Amino acid sequence: MADTTDHSTTGANAPAYYVSTPIYYVNDRPHLGHAYTTVAGDVLTRWHRQRGEKVWYLTGTDEHGQKIMRTADANGVTPQEWCDKLVEEAWKPLWRHLEIANDDFIRTTEERHTARVQEFVQDLYDKGEIYKGGYSGPYCVGCEEFKLPSELLDGATEDEKLCSVHKRPVEWLEEENYFFRLSAYAERLLEFYAANPDFIQPASARNEVLRFVEQDLKDLSISRSTFNWGVPLPWDEKHVLYVWVDALQNYITAAGYGSDPERFAELWPASVHLVGKDILRFHAVIWPAMLMAAGLPLPKRVVANGWLMVGGEKMSKSNLTGIAPTDLTSHFGVDAYRYYFLRAIPFGTDGSFSWEDFTARYTSELANDFGNLASRVAAMVGKYFDGSLPAAVASGDAEQAVADGLAKAVAAADLKIGEELDFAGGIAAIFEFVKQVNGYLTEQEPWKVAKDDSEEGRARLATILYTAAEALRATAVLLNPVMPSTAEKLWVSLGAEAGLGALSAQTVATVADWGRLPAGSTVTKGEILFPRLEEKPAA
């Protein structure tokens, strides 16, 4: 799972492009929503590796808190046993299955994390940023979050209140706690947001955070004293750290905070925190304030993705709308899965999943537009040139238009995927190029040109097929971050490695250089990239 190879072409001490997912709460198995964010981070980091940058991709699991303690107890095991089982049997295997090339996987029960967390909060306590007090108010165990009255729904009785996310009753919490002086950072946070307008994305997420901070920010309860499954406070072991305060620090503990200063200097601040919009406040308000209090740099960007919806409900484990990712990969394949969610649902917006839409896109875009193009070109090179790629010896305006289309697609995809995190827009730009190449073949009609045995006819046929194969060479590179196995199959089919090296060695900077695929490359048809789908499995 973890890719430990140094993909960088930069100096050893150059800052890394550091991307993190949220660390996922392991009260149950992962669902499509978890995989959506993790695949997005994987595509982003693979793209930056293709730029030749040093990249570091972190994911992991959040393993403390009352919810996990109760779930473990209900299953007759200890919280640690419950977490170990789920991590090793569900979470890590799924990321391997989805070809997630993370560089590290952090667990909040690991000593490398807990020891550093205690040092971090001890430092804040010593600075006077943490004080003892009492808390009374509603608490959602499902969210592991204190709730404001405005965030609750009416329940079945006059006294019952429901979490607006889980639609389940909240609990009334009344206990002695330690508090972080979050309210003292309201002005500094607002000043930071103003000076760094791209810190929170998309704009809707930024506006939500601004409204929240402007509404009289309250101090944050950071400890619990009614259960013990958490990181003990070093100065008062009757209390364990509030799970979110513990969890947020994974981004620095995994990066070497307090243990490896050189590594920490290389990795921190993070380039991008990818988060779900339901945990935006923790990452865009509480986390920056804690870092300010500790005197540490803030991450460069916090990007919130929307919710995946099924039947109008947010996909979640607790609402039982979570569909196992393997239900889909067993039907459509892993690469089609990686492609579909980022292509169909613009990152940062809510989106709905349906079998029907997935099937339609698979058939139209992957099988017909892309897969058939690769198959047709390989078949024609085999039929007309015995599998040896001919040279383009009669190029004209039509071929130049394809080369120009490639340059346009590369520029758009690099901007949208690499900078804007607009995965849908970047993939669309690549597939517009695929459609252009299909249109080029339709217009040039190589199957008719092949009937002309003259020298001019053979030259024209050679040029058409070289142009299509060269376009596929570039397409393999562009789609490698999105569909790595499919891109590798195409690379092999084109015989590209003999002349250009491994697909993993190709770069965004050179992908639009027209004519890189050497004439004489051995082109083979290979297996069908996107075979016909079987009937949808029974629910």
83 annotated to a ligand binding site: no
- Indicate which residue of 85, 97, 317, 525 is catalytic: 317
- Indicate which residue of 314, 331, 416, 489 is catalytic: 314
Q: How far apart are CA 189 and CA 213, in angstroms?
A: 8
Q: Which two tokens stand for residue 180?
A: 């972080």
Q: 3-class SS at 501?
A: coil
* 268 phi, psi to nearest 5 deg: -100, 140
H/E stretch holding 315: none
- Indicate which residue of 7, 48, 67, 140 is catalytic: 140
Q: Is 83 a catalytic residue?
A: no
Name beta bridge partners: 25: 62
| Those residues with Cβ within 8 angstroms of residue 511's Cβ, 6 or more apart along the chain or in another chain | 406, 410, 474, 477, 478
Q: Which two tokens stand for residue 106?
A: 């952090």
CA atoms within 13 A on the CB side of 287: 29
Q: Which two tokens stand for residue 235?
A: 């100065």
Helices 455-479/484-493 angle, 10° precision: 160
- Indicate which residue of 92, 143, 161, 489 is catalytic: 143
| Those residues with Cβ within 8 angstroms of residue 177's Cβ, 6 or more apart along the chain or in another chain | 132, 133, 134, 135, 221, 222, 223, 224, 225, 239
Q: Classify each residue of 83-102 as buried b or exposed e, where b means 16 or more C-beta atoms within 10 Å of its C-beta.
A: bbebbeeebbebbeebbbbb
Is residue 5 packed enough to be buried (19+ CB in 10 Å), middle (13-18) or exposed (0-12)? exposed
Q: Which residue has the tokens 């939500």?
A: 208
How far are the Cα atoms of 11, 50, 364, 466 from residue 433, in angstroms, in the given order? 34, 19, 15, 16
Instruction: List strands edge to edge, sheet with 223-224.
Output: 223-224, 236-241, 232-233
- 145-146 vs 130-140, strand pairing mode: antiparallel
Q: Are 162 and 169 in contact (CB under 8 A)?
A: yes
The angle formed by the CA atoms of residues 261, 266 and 268, to the nearest 5 degrees, is 85
Q: Which two tokens stand for residue 139?
A: 């608490």
Q: Is 147 a catalytic residue?
A: no
* Residue 61 amino acid letter: T
Q: Is 34 a catalytic residue?
A: yes
- Indicate which residue of 163, 273, 283, 331 is catalytic: 163
- Indicate which residue of 7, 34, 67, 489 is catalytic: 34
Q: Is 163 a catalytic residue?
A: yes
Known catalytic residues are 31, 34, 140, 143, 163, 166, 314, 317
Binding site for Zn(2+): which residues?
140, 143, 163, 166
> Which residues line the annotated binding site?
140, 143, 163, 166
